[in-house]
Amino acid sequence: MVLFTKQWTSGLLISCILLFGHAQAGIFSNRASNDDSSSSSSNNNNNNGGGATKEKSVVTQKMDYKLSFKIPYVYNGTIPFWSAGGDTITALDRIRITPSVPGTKGRIWSDLENNYEEWMVDMSFAISGNHLNGGRGMAFWYTQDKLPEGPIFGAKDQWKGLSIWFDSADPKTHAPSIMAFLNDGRFSFASAGVDPTKQALATCAIDYRNSNGYVKMLLTYKNRVLTLLLDPTSRGKNYRPCFRYTDIDLPTGYHFGLTAASHNPADDHDILSFETYQLNPPQKKMDHKRPLEEEKIKKGEEFQGLTAEQLKKIEETEYEIRRLREQSNEAPIEIEAAATMGVLFDTERRILETLQVTQLQIEALGAPTSQQVLSGSFVPKPAAGKQEAGGISADHLRTETQTILKRLEQQSNHNDQQLRTLKDTMSKMETLLQAMDNRMALQTNNLQGKLSEITKDSAEAKGTMSTLIKYILYACGLQGVVGLAIYLYWKLRVEKNEKKFL
């Protein structure tokens, strides 16, 4: 009965899912068509209602997930397609390149090269500290190689490519600044007497340290123009231009990277997300539609909503599902018993199907049906041993029927034997568990008794030792008194002898 109820519930669930799927397909198709129509009308400046010609929207940018990372950062213990090193800490909500500990350096680099001629980086970061001035800063890199640890904000000097410094500890202004540099791998910025500001491509002085929340950075390279936008206050709603540098060549095949360094006082340098986009990607060609796809789209566009009858069926199905769930919660069934009942039910169903097939085969050979047997309206067949028109004798049919019955009986006996074996196994396991419990209880009692004896012996030994120590102390005291008396006596004798000579 329980299995039948579950099967009926599954049927209701499948019907409900199909009905909802059809409804949602129509609704979403209708919305998609409306969105496409509105997009097409705005692009063509043609307000012709539903008769406007639909055009495919042009994709201007496409994100590359292999050159990006965001929450959740870690998969199988690593950041996919990125390598972190130094003092970098990966948390649940951010990647801390360097913590607010003096002398720390961290880095994170993309394992794959950037093969896009035009690209954009959308990054969210935060640089914060408890002191008035910053604690060194962070650098964005687009270089030919992944740089090891070095003096330039935690990266190697004399790099080949682009570097943008977020210097929060400018020694001249003591205010956060941003500077962009281009190096061919020969110039050393860390050499003594070098002023980096004189080598900068572009600079700006937007305050990004200790912002409210996080800072949004938008770096775009398009048509040989490098543009940096920054929003330190409104999380990407109000970008401010930082710099725009033209006629710059940034080749493909370079790596993106981020490094940071903390001096004393130190800052936290956090990266919340790093997303790389390809600008003006090749447009995807329209694939051929599948069979009957046009008709399905048309049906979805004509769909206006669920009818009252469909809504009523959905409500009835939901009510029935809730009722069955409540019944199942009120009368829980053990998993083993349910599995056993399922096996028995399946076996009985197979036996019934076999009997039905056998009955149909016998009726096809001319045997009377069950209704004819019950009513008695059938003509007896000739004696055994004689063959019918089809060439099959009644003895043969009887033999086959007995064989089938024997097989069914053997299968039923086999199932009974399996059930008995299962019950015997469970009984043995219960006996074994009970014996183990008794043995554990006995061992526990023995251990408690031994512990009590050990405690008692320890107490007696302790008392004996204390008595012995007392005796030793008494003997030492007595010897001291005797010695003192002897010494006083000797001293008096000496003094008396001295008085005699005087």
Task: Give pLDDT tens digits for 249-266.
Answer: 999 999 999 999 988 888
CB 89 within 8 A of CB 95: yes
Q: Cα–Cα distance between 134 and 168 in angstroms, integer?
A: 5
Low pLDDT (below 70) residues in the chain: 1-57, 286-287, 300-305, 328-338, 370-371, 373-394, 458-459, 461-462, 498-502
SS3 276: strand
Tokens matching residue 78:
């690593």
What phi, psi does 255 have (nearest 5°)?
-110, 140
Q: Report the 10 Å Cβ neighbour count for 259.
A: 29
pLDDT at residue 65, rounded to an integer: 95
Read off the pLDDT of residues 412-453 as tens digits, 9 standing for 90 and up: 888 888 888 888 888 888 888 888 888 888 888 888 888 878
Q: At what angle do helices 293-302 and 2-44 cross, to 10 degrees?
A: 90
Q: What is the dihedral of CA 89, 93, 94, 99, to 10 degrees?
A: -50
Q: 62-279 — its CATH code?
A: 2.60.120.200
pLDDT at residue 38, rounded to an integer: 39
SS3 502: coil
pLDDT at residue 402, rounded to an integer: 84
CA angle 253/119/78 to nearest 5° reads 65
